[in-house]
Amino acid sequence: MTSPGVDPSANRAEDRAEDQYDVDVLVVGGGQAALAVGYHLQRARRRGATALTFALLDAGARPGGAWTGGWESLRLFSPATISSLPGWPMPAWPGAGAPSGEHVRAYLAAYEERYALPVHRPVRALGTRATTNGFTVTTDHGVWRCRVLVSATGSTGRPFVPSYPGQAAFRGRQLHSAAYRGPDDLEDRTVLVVGGGNSGAQVAADLNRRRLGRTVWVTRRPPRFLPDHLTGGPSSSGPHGTCVRSRRASRSRTRRTWATS
């Protein structure tokens, strides 16, 4: 979603729009953050603490937020007991390790239904404009006016791809983790995974375990692995057997290289 201002494409959509909606609070997004905001608004309404009207706009065609995409082996990096949204604990995961992506998707879909959250989908926000009384949000399915606007879109829909020296000259394939779907088309290739976060760790582990070819995982600092009893099992503690090179941001030479077991 764009920052407050006038987007030419949004203007054209607004001129054509026949459907207009008014709510007090508009939440743009359909993932965990959006559902948590919706939960608290719904609870306050049911308790009589507020009469605010609200709606959630989700660009996705089905519940689950960013979890509707991703790769086959994608899973939480924490156990279900500490991965819940407010109000309702995530059901226990019956398998080994941390909950699977399908388990998370099912939980988020059930969460929407349990609290009767007013989610509209698929509705994509095209632009916003600040007004005297709040905001006007132009979408591909009409115009929404609200007093309070909450942006809960996350980063998956518009991933950040940083620039780096030599990028234009690189002839190999460059892929963001948001677009990674599995190792099948990367067989027998050397793959460099950059980033020490959960996505980088899981992608590196997925590549290392499920294909032939060299996988190199590069992080700014040595990765920290949590004990299995905290993360739900070995599958969520990071890549096993992956060649790891850790580079400090301010230095070009390799500081430490090791292979986890």
Q: What is the pLDDT of residues 154-166, one digit of tens each?
A: 877 788 888 889 8
**The pLDDT of residue 13:** 46
**The pLDDT of residue 9:** 42
**The pLDDT of residue 252:** 31
Bridge partners (DSSP) listed for residue 142: 139
E strand residue ranges, 39-190: 54-57, 119-120, 125-131, 134-139, 142-151
Supply the pTM of this predicted model. 0.73
Q: Are 149 and 135 in contact (CB under 8 A)?
A: yes
**The pLDDT of residue 104:** 93
**The pLDDT of residue 226:** 65
What's the rounded Cα separation, in Å, for the pair 147 and 149? 7
Instruction: Give Cβ neighbours of residue 223 (< 8 Å, ≥ 6 apart).
Output: 196, 201, 238, 244, 246
Which residue type sits at 92?
Answer: A
**The pLDDT of residue 255:** 33
**The pLDDT of residue 54:** 98
List the domains of the chain with CATH numbers: 8-151 (3.50.50.60), 177-259 (no CATH)
Residue that the structure tokens 């009384």 belong to: 133
236 backbone dihedrals φ, ψ, rounded to 5°: -110, 10
Parts of the chain with a pLDDT under 70: 1-18, 226-261
Pairing of strands 134-139, 20-28: unpaired
**The pLDDT of residue 247:** 38
